[in-house]
Amino acid sequence: MADDGARVDRRRLRVDLAGQVALVTGASQGLGRSIAEALAANGAAVALVARSVDKLAEVAGAIRAAGGTAEEFPCDVAKGEEIQRVVEAVVAKLGRLDILVNNAGVTRDNLCPRMSDDEWDQVLTTNLRAPFLFIRAASRPMMQQRYGRIINVASISGLIGNAGQANYSASKAGLVGLTKTVAKELAGRKVTVNAVAPGFIASDMTAALGPALDDVVKARVPAKRLGEAWEIAEAVLFLASPSSGYVTAQTLVVDGGLIG
């Protein structure tokens, strides 16, 4: 993973989020961390949500050291009873809630004939049920203040499918459907709901795949490279900004041209 300086140097998009509060799930690492850092760098106070207290503290410390505002809210998003509590705690501590980024997700890959009930349930619970519960809880303060931005991190797997990921692809396809439906319900209250669908993104997981992934990328991705976490963060940043007020019910695909 690139160091903090490298991430900051690569960013080009600048928006004004001063006075706004953003909640990011899965914020302790990877895409979630990059998204949280981008929102904080543009003026938002960021509520960091994830299971690991230690990792959340590390991310919050890095954001504060860079001059931003961040608070940690430990939560296991697979435990639905915790989600309403966390949203209420964010509003109580930070005063409002303007931006929700549903990023937390898990994989439990297996071919469909071999997939266990537990593998299916774990993925659907974290990747689809939890975003629904966060949206339900967050939409209430957003509707009251007549402003909000909800961004769901989906995947191209939810648009085209992927062998060995029936659970993951179904959860991300469901997230796209949830996005479109809730966008129609909340548009009249000036709350937008959109999704970002990443393609192959550089991460610790993709790094472990080694040269085999390079061959796949060169053969299938017109851009001939993996995407970077900061590129997904900036797509989220645009959808979280005041400038995106007439963009809703959309899925922004960020995949280097993979699915066209």
- Residues classed as catalytic: 168
Work out the widest C-alpha separation in the chain, in whole angstroms: 51
DSSP secondary structure string for all residues of 188-247:
GGTEEEEEEEE-SB-SHHHHTTTHHHHHHHHHH-TT-S-B-HHHHHHHHHHHHSGGGTT-
Residue identified by tokens 């697979």 is: 78
- CA atoms of 80 and 24, how far apart (whole Å): 16
189 burial via Cβ count (<10 Å: 0-12, 13-18, 19+): middle
Torsion of CA 27, 127, 141, 236, to 10 degrees: 60
Neighbours of 184 (CB within 10 A): 11
Q: What angle do CA 4, 15, 225 make, to 5 degrees?
A: 50
- CA atoms of 43 and 219, how far apart (whole Å): 40
Q: What are the angstrom distances between the C-alpha of 178 and each of 96, 151, 219?
A: 24, 11, 32
Are 204 and 163 in contact, with CB atoms under 8 Å apart? no
